[in-house]
């Protein structure tokens, strides 16, 4: 699906690269509003507004997580719309939704994400194969980040299974992603908690963007993950931090944590 200039004047990748250059940052801040951790009397939208305003010059992307909005039903969906509208237009929005279904259903998921919410990118589950992803990829200006080597401990139960040809399953997914990337709008979700695996995936997909969750509260090795994953130009990754930035304290504390993370990433990629 070729979008009109009015629908998306810049591709996700172009927005990302411009934000990296402007803010000197590989930091993606995840917007995961947990009501139990938001100060009493503060609404979800106002809480996230404070974080966004405090960090907008320190990030390359924001990643709202649909799961944290959906329990509130229609109100939560409206909050998600409002939060996306708060994000400066020159910073890309990546919706963490991990969508994936048969092609006809995925078509409506893709429309909800890209047309309804106006997100620049989405996370998707590749388990159903290429026909389940094609409706997302048809939005040529938008990016789809396919789950490849996720950051959670249980990932090994499936993703480390060895195939008949000797490759591990996550390596096979990375190779498939290259095949799917005919429009240049496929990325991979690669956990910062597994830097050795990230290096293997980078060798398979040298030019692809990686979304890297797992730093901060998940205690991934930030320096090792960045060094293992950056592309030949020292970029190509979006290192996500959510809880460590959101719940640092005040907006000023969120800014301080984002500044610390940005500095650590830049030291790692330039050393």
> So where are the chain's domains?
17-270
In whole angstroms, what separates CA 151 from the centre of its chain? 13
- Token readout for 56 is 């907008």
Annotated active-site residue 98? The verdict is: yes
pLDDT on residue 30: 98
Q: Determine the Cα–Cα distance for residues 232 and 202; give it in Å rounded to an integer.
A: 10
Q: Which residues pair with 210 in a beta bridge?
A: 188, 237
pLDDT on residue 214: 84
Q: Which of 15, 36, 63, 98 is catalytic?
A: 98
Instruction: Label residues 228-252 b or e (16+ Cβ within 10 Å = b).
Output: bbbbeeebbbbbbbbebbbbbeebe
Give the pLDDT of the chain (271 residues) as one tens digit per residue: 444 333 347 999 999 999 999 999 999 999 999 999 999 999 999 999 999 999 999 999 999 999 999 999 999 999 999 999 999 999 999 999 999 999 899 999 999 999 999 999 999 999 999 999 999 999 999 999 999 999 999 999 999 999 999 999 999 999 999 999 999 999 999 999 999 999 999 999 999 999 999 886 544 589 999 999 999 999 999 999 999 999 999 999 999 999 999 999 999 999 8
Looking only at the bridges linking them, the beta strands covering 186-190 and 210-212 are parallel
Q: Judge contact between 94 and 62, C-beta under 8 A.
A: yes
The architecture (CATH level 2) of 17-270 comes to Alpha-Beta Barrel (3.20)
CA atoms in the 13 A half-sphere facing the CB of 100:
15
pLDDT on residue 186: 99
pLDDT on residue 221: 86
In whole angstroms, what separates CA 29 from the centre of its chain? 9
């Amino acid at each position: 699906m070729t979008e009109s200039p009015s629908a998306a004047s810049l591709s996700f990748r172009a927005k990302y690269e411009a934000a990296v250059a402007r803010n000197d940052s590989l930091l993606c801040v995840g917007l995961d509003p947990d009501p139990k951790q938001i100060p009493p009397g503060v609404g979800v939208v106002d809480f996230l507004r404070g974080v966004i305003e405090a960090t907008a010059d320190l990030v390359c992307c924001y990643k709202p997580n649909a799961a944290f909005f959906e329990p509130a039903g229609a109100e939560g969906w409206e909050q998600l719309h409002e939060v996306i509208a708060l994000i400066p237009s020159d910073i890309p929005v990546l919706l963490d939704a991990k969508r994936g279904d048969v092609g006809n259903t995925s078509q409506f998921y893709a429309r909800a994400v890209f047309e309804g919410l106006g997100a620049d990118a989405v996370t998707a589950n590749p388990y159903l194969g290429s026909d389940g992803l094609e409706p997302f990829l048809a939005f040529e200006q938008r990016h789809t980040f396919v789950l490849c080597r996720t950051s959670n401990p249980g990932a090994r139960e499936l993703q480390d299974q060895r195939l008949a040809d000797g490759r591990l399953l996550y390596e096979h997914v990375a190779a498939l992603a290259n095949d799917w990337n005919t429009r240049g709008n496929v990325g991979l979700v690669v956990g910062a908690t597994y830097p050795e695996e990230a290096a293997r995936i980078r060798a398979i997909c040298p030019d692809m963007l990686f979304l890297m969750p797992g730093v901060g509260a998940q205690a991934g090795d930030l320096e090792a993950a960045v060094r293992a994953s950056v592309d030949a130009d020292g970029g190509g990754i979006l290192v996500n931090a959510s809880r460590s930035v959101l719940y640092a304290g005040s907006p000023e504390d969120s800014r301080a944590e984002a500044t610390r993370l940005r500095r650590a990433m830049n030291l790692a990629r330039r050393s």
